[in-house]
Amino acid sequence: MSQSNDVRPVITLRSTAGTGSTYTTTKNRRNTPDRLELLKFDPALKKRVIFKETR
């Protein structure tokens, strides 16, 4: 039953603005093997910035 954790791991998205803001989400490793980059809201800056996946 641990196979579901292998396909959809929990990842952390960290702000590129250097504020230390993070989001957690899951991704499908088969569809997106590369690191994610998403445009999300940074509450410290009160605007949207790019968040990158950290390991």
What whole-number distance in Å separates Cα of residue 18 and Cα of residue 5? 30
Phi, psi for 37 (deg, rounded to 5): -135, 115
| Contact between 49 and 15 (Cβ < 8 Å) | yes
For residue 5, give both structure tokens. 């954790």
pLDDT 10s digits, 29-51: 999 999 999 999 999 999 999 99
Domain spans, the chain: 3-54
Q: What is the per-residue pLDDT for 46?
A: 96
Q: Is 3-54 CATH 2.20.28.120?
A: yes
Residue 4 has pLDDT above 90, yes or no: no
pLDDT 10s digits, 17-33: 999 999 999 999 999 99
Alpha-carbon torsion (43, 44, 48, 51), positive or negative: negative
Q: Output 44 or 55, whichever has higher pLDDT.
A: 44
User: Across all residues in the chain, what is the average pLDDT?
Assistant: 91
Strand stretches in the chain, DSSP E: 10-15, 22-26, 37-42, 47-54
